[in-house]
Amino acid sequence: MSGHSKWASIKHKKAKTDAARGKIFTRLIKEITVAARVGGGDEDGNPRLRTAVLAGKAANMPAANIERAIKKGTGELPGVVYEEIVYEGYGPAGVALLIDCVTDSKNRTVADVRHILSKHHGSMASAGSVAFNFDKKGLVVIENPEQDEDTLLELVLDHGAEDIVTVDGNVQITTAFTSLNDVSSVLDANNIAYASANPVMIPKSTVKLEQKAAEQVLRLMDALEEHDDIQDVHANFDIDDEVLQNL
């Protein structure tokens, strides 16, 4: 299974622990704030903000926190000014990485990213050398749904869904990027709860990892995701289930 869906499954298992530490709330607040700053505070007129707010609600973020983040983004409340930046890099075995960051200090963040990559047998890459290998899509994760894949596919197929798979009991729906809101709206209309609905970068080609490289790459992914300025990490690795079970 390729990096986007395998890593999505691994991260989903970690989500409750992350939420307990407050890290997932920090990431969501940053995304809501930036989305409101870039596209305004109206969810109906700002698809990115709507997606961010839905992700916040799915993570059980208090409504007051969401409202405060929106107002900080629109300037109604004072707050830190965040800047978005994507770094490109390589991990062990030549795994390609896109590292999405939201930061108030680019110099600090780039130094930290470079250090993490170097520590975990990786390196920074020049702009554009990695990004061409990814397509921007949407990913909706439904945790242990009552409906089967066929039923869900019938609901979302005409609204931009492109693929649907079940991983560890969780259904992952891949959509066209511009259709992410349409698919999540259809699920909402049918009272089908989902754990997340986020943009993702889908690799056009993948690198299959054996045991040692898989261990190194997953340690690197963990280290990157632990950094407060890093919102998401996209990679093109592939790990067989047999190898993953032995990690």
Residue ranges of domains in the chain: 14-74, 83-132+204-245, 133-203
- 203 within 8 A of 3, measured Cβ to Cβ: yes
- 49 within 8 A of 34, measured Cβ to Cβ: no
What span, in angstroms and rounded, lies between the C-alpha atoms of 147 and 110? 44
- 198 within 8 A of 210, measured Cβ to Cβ: no
Residues 6+ positions from 197 with CB-CB distance below 8 Å: 51, 54, 55, 58, 138, 139, 140, 141, 180, 183, 184
Class of domain 14-74: mainly alpha
Same fold, 83-132+204-245 and 133-203: yes
Q: What is the pLDDT of residues 42-65, one digit of tens each?
A: 988 887 898 889 888 877 889 999
Q: What is the pLDDT of residues 16-44, one digit of tens each?
A: 455 555 678 888 999 999 999 999 999 88
Pick the CATH number of 83-132+204-245 from 3.30.70.980, 3.10.20.600, 3.30.420.10, 1.10.3720.10: 3.30.70.980
- β-strands 170-176, 96-103 pairing: unpaired
DSSP string, 54-101: HHHHHTT--HHHHHHHHHHHHTSS-----EEEEEEEE-GGG-EEEEEE
- pTM of the predicted structure, to 2 decimals: 0.79
Residue 148 pLDDT: 87
Q: Which CATH superfamily is domain 133-203 in?
A: YebC, transcriptional regulation domain (3.30.70.980)
